[in-house]
Chain A
């Protein structure tokens, strides 16, 4: 039967928690197994990542490598780490793949549910704040080694610029003005971005430094995958501007890497 009781509640996460807790497989504190820490056990969830975001003159670029690792093995070569959220925002995830994908999916549904029921979009900052609650609700599992850390970016229509938000495991939310990178190769990518970033950078230059930062991360970090010219697997790049979220075509990404390699 149709349950009309939740009218006026635009928080999908809260509705699920109350009505269908079984669907929140990992984002639910009842899952916490006391005294167990994954990093000390023989169980290896898919993890390892470099994802980043760079603000440029017309918006923001988001990018991520494609590899998931399972201990010292390659778990997956074509995994997606960037997910469009609404028309003007996207989330990138780092950490244990299962809970990461679940959080990205739930977050996307949450934002769309709000938009459809309220008739207006949730503001970019509203989305960023809500994501902090989701990260916080995963704290129990994070303490056991199944951490999820997102990087969130979008185009703020009211302020007319790209914005980037990063998080810590306890739900802290911090805004970055220029660029940021997270994941096992995040520090390496940040080093490249620090040297190459200039304010008001153009789209083309932003794509170039993003490709280079991911290359350097893959070079230093075994858990980050570089461009795979044999299998034709390349990092995913998205731009978010006034026109919305757009994936950079694979051919363009391949060209960026062929250029980069020729200059090495």
Chain B
């Protein structure tokens, strides 16, 4: 009988973290940023039908970086669980915090399993407030949760970034972000930030209305607050 090797828990965790960060380093970034009327979400993505940002429920959207196949199944599961919860209770009872916990438990479970590869993804679960509520109601708050590959999540304020160069982008936003930006100003801030980091990159990825994916959660919209912006709309906002 052979003696199994001993590997310390710290070592196992470190190995998995290294493995995932090598994968995530390749992933193009998604930025979520609070603007005057809600949350603006922008990703570097030239594709027309495979999205990094998607609608989950009335006030909730999901942004993901990493392997599409791995987050696609989570996106659909999120929609399904949200619809079931909203059908069972009330649509308002479906919250980003609840969904974040579901994702977090799942991703943590996979990351800890000895016989599974950790998910090479990072998620942002976003919820927008509604203007259709009293001034001090919690229904007015915007929320952004950042979930790492191992399920560890944090609550972010004003903006959040996922993807390979998230740290660099966050540093730029720390200097340039101001409260209460209009949608066009917020979009310009994000595209300028993308241009700054692309100028330092080896591949020449040009930031144009065709090469970014833009969506928003609008506080003033009716029940379904998620909206994808067309290339034409993005062009107008940037001009």
- Check if A116 sits within 8 Å of B79, measured CB to CB: yes
Which residues of chain A come closer than 8 Å to B51, judged between CB atoms? 119
In this complex, what residue of A is CB-closest to B101?
A2
Instruction: Bits for B67-105, please: 1 = Cβ < 8 Å to A, else 0.
Output: 000000110110111011011100000000000001101
Which residues of chain B come closer than 8 Å to A116, judged between CB atoms? 54-56, 79
Q: Please tell me which one of the listed residues B49, B77, B105, B106 contacts residue A119 in the complex, with CB atoms under 8 A apart.
A: B49
In this complex, what residue of A is CB-closest to B106?
A2
Q: Please tell me which one of the listed residues B54, B88, B109 contacts residue A23 in the complex, with CB atoms under 8 A apart.
A: B88
A72 an interface residue at 8 Å Cβ cutoff? Answer: no
In this complex, what residue of A is CB-closest to B226?
A116
- Check if A7 sits within 8 Å of B83, measured CB to CB: no
Which residues of chain B come closer than 8 Å to A119, judged between CB atoms? 49, 51
Which residues of chain A come closer than 8 Å to B49, judged between CB atoms? 119
CA distance A105 to B86 in the complex (A): 11
Q: Please tell me which one of the listed residues A1, A6, A23 contacts residue B80 in the complex, with CB atoms under 8 A apart.
A: A6
CA distance A6 to B55 in the complex (A): 18
Known: A4-B73, A4-B77, A119-B49. A12 touches B105 (CB 8 A): no
Nearest Cβ on chain A to B226's Cβ, whole angstroms: 9
Instruction: Bits for A26-63, please: 1 = Cβ < 8 Å to B, else 0.
Output: 00000000000000000000000000000000000000
A20 an interface residue at 8 Å Cβ cutoff? Answer: yes
CA distance A200 to B31 in the complex (A): 49
Which residues of chain A come closer than 8 Å to B88, judged between CB atoms? 20, 23
Nearest Cβ on chain A to B221's Cβ, whole angstroms: 13
Which residues of chain A come closer than 8 Å to B77, judged between CB atoms? 2-4, 6-7
- Check if B74 sits within 8 Å of A117, measured CB to CB: no
Which residues of chain B come closer than 8 Å to A117, judged between CB atoms? 76, 79-80
A170 an interface residue at 8 Å Cβ cutoff? Answer: no
Which residues of chain A come closer than 8 Å to B102, judged between CB atoms? 1-2
- Check if A113 sits within 8 Å of B105, measured CB to CB: no
Which residues of chain A come closer than 8 Å to B76, judged between CB atoms? 6-7, 117
Which residues of chain B come closer than 8 Å to A105, judged between CB atoms? 87
Per DSSP, are chain B's interface residues mostly helix, strand or loop, or mixed? Answer: helix
CA distance A20 to B103 in the complex (A): 21
Which residues of chain B come closer than 8 Å to A3, judged between CB atoms? 77, 81
Known: A2-B74, A4-B73. A20 touches B84 (CB 8 A): yes
Q: Please tell me which one of the listed residues B54, B87, B103, B106 contacts residue A109 in the complex, with CB atoms under 8 A apart.
A: B87
Instruction: Bits for A1-25, please: 1 = Cβ < 8 Å to B, else 0.
Output: 1111011000010011001100100
- Check if B106 sits within 8 Å of A113, measured CB to CB: no
Within 8 A of B (CB), among A107-127: 109, 112-113, 116-117, 119
Which residues of chain B come closer than 8 Å to A16, judged between CB atoms? 84, 87
Which residues of chain A come closer than 8 Å to B105, judged between CB atoms? 1-2
- Check if A2 sits within 8 Å of B81, measured CB to CB: yes
CA distance A20 to B76 in the complex (A): 18
Nearest Cβ on chain A to B113's Cβ, whole angstroms: 13
- Check if B103 sits within 8 Å of A23, measured CB to CB: no
Nearest Cβ on chain A to B118's Cβ, whole angstroms: 16
CA distance A109 to B73 in the complex (A): 20
CA distance A94 to B182 in the complex (A): 46
CA distance A104 to B8 in the complex (A): 56
Instruction: Bits for B41-67, please: 1 = Cβ < 8 Å to A, else 0.
Output: 000000001010011100000000000
- Could you name 9 residue pairs across A and B whose Cβ atoms are closer than 8 Å? A1-B106, A2-B77, A2-B81, A4-B73, A19-B84, A20-B88, A112-B83, A112-B224, A117-B79
Residues on A lying within 8 angstroms of B by beta carbon are 1-4, 6-7, 12, 15-16, 19-20, 23, 105-106, 109, 112-113, 116-117, 119
Other A-B contacts than A7-B77, A12-B83, A117-B76, 7 sampled, CB-CB below 8 A, are A1-B109, A4-B77, A20-B84, A23-B88, A113-B80, A116-B55, A119-B51
- When A and B form their complex, which 7 residue pairs have the shortest distance between CB atoms, in order from nearest? A2-B106, A116-B79, A2-B102, A117-B76, A7-B73, A2-B77, A4-B77
